[in-house]
Amino acid sequence: MNKPIAYDMLVIGSGPAGQKAAVEAARSGASVALIEKTRKLGGACVQRGTIPSKTLRENALRVRNMRMNAQLSNFKLAEDTELATLITRLNNVLNAHDEYMRKQLERTKVNLIHGRARFLSPQDVEVESVRGEKQTYSSGHILIATGSHPRKPPDIPVDHEHLFDSDSILSMMYLPKSLTVLGGGVIASEYASIFQALGVSVTMIDKYPHPLGFLDNDLTQTFLNDFTQMGGTWKGNTKVTRCYWNGMDAVITECDNGTEVRSEKLLCAAGRVANVKELEIGNAGLELNDRGLIDVDDQLETQVRGIYAAGDVIGPPSLASASMEQGRRAACNSLEITSGLVHSVIPAGIYSIPELSSVGISETHAREKFGDVFVGIARFDEIARGQISGALNGMLKIVCDTDGKTILGIMIVGEGATELIHIGQMALINNSPVDIFVETVFNFPTLAEAYRAAALEIIHQRKSKASRIKAGF
Ligand SMILES: Cc1cc2nc3c(=O)[nH]c(=O)nc-3n(C[C@H](O)[C@H](O)[C@H](O)COP(=O)(O)OP(=O)(O)OC[C@H]3O[C@@H](n4cnc5c(N)ncnc54)[C@H](O)[C@@H]3O)c2cc1C
Ligand SMILES: NC(=O)c1ccc[n+]([C@@H]2O[C@H](COP(=O)([O-])OP(=O)(O)OC[C@H]3O[C@@H](n4cnc5c(N)ncnc54)[C@H](O)[C@@H]3O)[C@@H](O)[C@H]2O)c1
């Protein structure tokens, strides 16, 4: 082992978790090294996930809106549209992000080390550069923030030419005429609806009956209705038995019910796996749990003292938003910096078309847990802004406890859902009664008015329940 270079803190991985951790630690005056194996910073979030997919989505929305405005234009994307033309702004977005992150690291004096990290011991990490040079770094405070990569089911021969995963899907040269999407999770639903909105004929296949099974039924149903209305096909309760490129013109997907789907390309979105193999965590005395993830306690410390983990390597919710906060908190906990209170109420935002978002618990879950809960629904077509913008199929649902006051959850489907949800999140966090949405004046016309409409419905239900009880019914 070469002579180790010591730091107060070592952070492995420059995704949302690692980046925020390194900056937070350095701001407290600690000497920090951030180790990243790829040339670009930002991890899956910036390079292959969140930002690229949302950039394509913006153009898909434009295309869809132009098609919907048939009276104004008879819009159709040209055949063989190059995918690159639909994400022209992506390079600008990525370069701007990369520059911002590099400047922030420079400003906070975080030492950026490019190379692949592996543990030699609980305090020593060896980094191998692309040129094969090796250097050891040591610290009593180490954060593992190495993220995750797409799971490759053994029977799905992803070749990145005909069969893609979420890391490679945007490297397709042309927009295909048809696409099979394996999976009904978040990545599958986002990409399936984005490509369908762009005019690609998409078939989604999953063993579960509905996509996005963790969401409220009304949200899932609206997603499915919109997807099929755009021309997409959903094949639920279906297992894939074989999948291959036929060597000529199609990817063939054979299903357990005897059906076969032919498509020009295929996207496999069958979950993600933690990036831990290269780390050789056994040398640090760490082992993976049975889901292949690193276990942490409520301080984000692993079973080995001084080694923390944050982001996708520790598992759900596996979101960029949560990873950033976990990274910051892990750095603070490790260096014994007071980090303040952070609320555990985390919203989910799914950037499918239509957009879906929820915070708290779903109606089904609330009914199972609390029984006769109150539910208020406001449809965007009943709201002035919904009529004006044409966002007619949106909906906002508030679920309240059996007292008709305590908010348990909020679910929104429709454009702006991922922004609108934060109003409800604030009310939920502050334990505000549902009445706050009626007692507060919002801008008009806005979709936020849906909060008021849904809350009014609950207040009416509450009053009629009280009258029924008073009358002895
Ligand atoms: C298609 C897609 C869309 C998504 N959309 C959203 C969204 O809209 N909203 C949202 O909140 N989340 C979204 N996510 C999830 C989000 O991207 C992840 O939760 C987040 O990136 C996890 O952050 P992380 O810091 O844990 O890891 P990552 O972002 O995966 O970063 C880990 C970094 O560690 C580096 N690394 C790995 N091993 C080593 C090693 N041995 N040595 C050195 N470096 C190493 C990697 O190169 C990488 O840069 C999306 C994900 C995908 C795939
Ligand atoms: N907007 C967002 O917040 C956002 C966007 C994208 C991804 N993410 C994160 O990324 C993570 C991974 O997402 P994901 O969608 O890949 O995983 P997932 O685990 O959510 O969904 C995987 C789906 O694939 C199905 N599946 C597995 N093997 C299959 C097979 N052989 N054939 C057909 N279907 C199969 C499963 O039944 C499951 O429904 C999620 O945890 C999510 O939090 C978040």
Q: What is the pLDDT of residue 339?
A: 81
Q: Are strands 356-360 and 374-379 parallel, antiparallel or unpaired?
A: unpaired
The band of 96, judged by pLDDT with boundaries at 50, 70 and 90, is confident
Separation of CA 315 and ligand 2 centre (Å): 13
- CATH no. for 354-467: 3.30.390.30
Per-residue pLDDT tens over the stretch 216-253: 999 999 999 999 999 999 999 999 999 999 999 999 99
Q: Alpha-carbon distance 354 to 226, whole Å? A: 7
Round to whole Å and give the CA distance between 92 and 52. 11
The H or E element containing residue 144 is: strand 142-144
Q: Which of 216, 265, 100 is nearest to 224 (CA)?
A: 216
Identical fold for domains 5-150+273-335 and 354-467, yes or no, is no
Alpha-carbon span 422 to 358, nearest angstrom: 9
Using a cut of 0.90, tell me whether the model's pTM lies above it: yes
CA 252 to chain centre: 29
Ligand 2 and 183: CB distance under 6 A: yes
Helix or strand or coil: residue 128?
strand
What value does the mean pLDDT take over residues 387-407?
Answer: 92
Summarize the confidence of residues 212-216 as an average pLDDT: 93
Q: What pLDDT, on a 0 to 100 scale, did the predictor assign at position 14?
A: 97
Tokens 């911002």 locate to: 100
- CA-nearest residue for atom 41, ligand 2, is 318
Quick one: DSSP state of residue 256? T
Q: Looking at 15-24, 190-199, 461-470, which range is the least confident one?
A: 461-470
Q: Closest residue (by CA) to atom 12 of ligand 2?
A: 271
| ipTM of predicted complex | 0.95
In this predicted structure, the answer to whether residue 462 has a pLDDT above a threshold of 70 is yes
Nearest CA to 269 out of 162, 195, 167, 148 is that of 167
Q: What is the pLDDT of residues 261-318, one digit of tens each?
A: 999 999 999 999 999 999 999 999 999 999 999 999 999 999 999 999 999 999 999 9
Fold topology of 5-150+273-335: FAD/NAD(P)-binding domain (3.50.50)
The Cα 373–Cα 98 span in angstroms is: 47
State pLDDT tens for residues 253-262.
Answer: 999 999 999 9
CA 69 and chain centroid, separation: 30
pLDDT at 45: 86
Does residue 109 have a known ligand-binding role? no
Radius of gyration over every alpha carbon of the chain, rounded to an integer in angstroms? 24
User: Is the distance from CB of 194 to CB of 224 less than 8 angstroms?
Assistant: no
- Residue 236 annotated in ligand binding: no
134-138 and 5-6 as β-strands: parallel, antiparallel, unpaired? parallel
Site residues for ligand 1, CB cut-off 6 Å: 12-18, 35-38, 43-45, 49-50, 53, 116-117, 145-148, 166, 187, 275, 278-279, 311-312, 318-321, 323, 351
Domain edges within the chain: 5-150+273-335, 163-270, 354-467
Judge whether residue 59 has pLDDT over 90. no
Q: Assess if CATH 3.50.50.60 describes domain 163-270.
A: yes
pLDDT digits (tens, 9 = 90+) for 333-375: 999 998 877 778 999 999 999 999 999 999 999 999 999 999 9
- On the 0-12 / 13-18 / 19+ scale of CB atoms within 10 A, 201 is middle
Q: How confident is the model at residue 70, as a pLDDT?
A: 60
User: Rounded to whole angstroms, what are the CA distances from 373 to 399, 432, 467?
Assistant: 7, 17, 17
